[in-house]
Structure formats: structure tokens, C-alpha cells
Amino acid sequence: MSQAGRLVVLVSGSGTNLQALLDASADPSYGATIVAVGADRDGIEGLARAERAGVPTFVEKLSGYGSRAEWDAAVAARIAAYRPDLVVSAGFMKILGDPTLSAFPVVNTHPALLPSFPGAHGVRDALAHGVKVTGCTVMLADAGVDTGPIIAQEAVRVFDGDDEHQLHERIKTVERELLVDTVGRMVREGWTVAGRTVRIGPGGEKK
């Protein structure tokens, strides 16, 4: 295989999706390497996971800037310094601004079957609605809240008596596998976007 694809992964919390990507990328045949991990807050397990793996980290807090536009520019500059082929927003709880979105392809993951239940409480909202099946979605990020073109989805059953935590943990088990599989295929095979339809395979963006 040609050179491994360079990933910058963004996190805001526990970073189990990041860990799954770190574990997968330890195998050269995966085709991707994580060149940096960025966060919008300190003291999170996601950053600790990166540090334990010897991956450089950066933190840009919105509160450190006078405006959203300045933060957007700072985040984009931090990401650009690592020359990524792909940015992965893996539990990063901020919408990325145009300076990042126009410069790099960004993959995002969400714990619901979009377009149902977008936003910060996808698991809670699905439970409250009483759905019997929910799941996870890997998408290309755009300027909206979980509105980008869908790349891959998997369904997860809701069990009687599930609470938000139990259901989210079951979704995350599936989500981690889907994210690792999807990102790996994208960097190895490239992808195309036609309207809202994303296809992984030759003739695409990259590699």
C-alpha cells in the first residue's frame, strides 16, 4: 500500500472511538495513522488516551477566544499544521466552522439513525420518542448539526427498560466498529460524493 492516510481526530470526552481508531491504526494494513488528537477542553480521557499512545495533542477552548470566528480559525490552523488527509470528529461536541470544513474532509459520528434525532442528545431523544430500533451514523460533516451526507449506518435494537446509559453503551459498541471500518475503507479506497450520496471506492477524493 502507498503511504498511510494521515488522520487528525477531535474529541470532547471519554474517547473510546478514538481508542478504537488508535488500536486499528497500530496495524499497518489499516492504511491510516493518527497524527494528532485535538480537543475543546482539558482533562478528558480522550486526551489521556492520545498521550498514552504517544500521539501529539492540542486543546482549543472556545472560552479562550473573543469570538466563534477566531476559535474556528485557531482550530483550523492547529489541524492544518498536521497536514491531515481526513479529520475525524469522534465525540467532538462542537460544530466545526468553515475554515476547517472548507480545507479538509471531515467525518463525524452520531449515536442515532440520522436524519432522526440529530444533536447532542440523540440517544435520549430516541428513547423519549419510544423507537424500537435506533443505531449510529457515520457522515461527512457540514455546517449543520448532523446534516451532512451519510456514509454508513448500523441499527441497534432498543430493549424494554433500557435507560440512556445502557442504550448508549450498546450503540457505542457498534459505533466504534462502524467508524473504524468506514474510516479505514475511505483512506484505503477513496470516496465520491454525488449530491447526498457517498460511495466508498475508486474514482474518489483521495489516495
* Residues at the site binding ligand GRF, with contacts judged by CB under 6 A: 11, 13-18, 46, 90-91, 109-111, 172, 175
| Comparison of 168 and 207: residue with beta carbon closer to ligand GRF | 168
Cβ contact 175:153 at 8 Å: no
Comparison of 98 and 169: residue with beta carbon closer to ligand GRF: 169
Contact 140, 105 (CB under 8 A): yes
Residue 5: in which H helix or E strand, if any? strand 5-11
CB of 140 to ligand GRF, least distance (A): 15
* Minimum CB–partner distance for residue 131 and ligand GRF (Å): 16
Q: Are 89 and 143 in contact (CB under 8 A)?
A: no
Task: Tell me which residue has its CB nearest to ligand GRF.
Answer: 91
Residue 153 beta carbon to ligand GRF: minimum distance, rounded to whole angstroms: 12
Cα distances (angstroms) measured from residue 78 to each of 40, 51, 95:
12, 17, 16
Q: Which residue's CB is nearer to ligand GRF, number 84 or number 122?
A: 122
Catalytic residue list contains 110: yes
CB distance 153 to 182 below 8 Å: no
E strands in 78-178: 86-89, 106-110, 133-140, 150-157
Judged by beta carbon, residue 21 or residue 75, the one nearer ligand GRF is 21
Catalytic-role residue among 110, 121, 165, 168: 110
Q: Which is nearer to ligand GRF, 74 or 90 (CB)?
A: 90
Q: Which three cell numbers stand for residue 184?
A: 479505514
CA distance 181 to 59: 27
- Tell the smallest beta-carbon distance from residue 172 to ligand GRF (Å): 5
Contacts of 103 (CB under 8 A, 6+ apart): 76, 79, 80
Contacts of 161 (CB under 8 A, 6+ apart): none
- To the nearest whole angstrom, how small is the minimum distance from the Cβ of residue 106 to ligand GRF? 14
Catalytic residue numbers, as ranges: 110
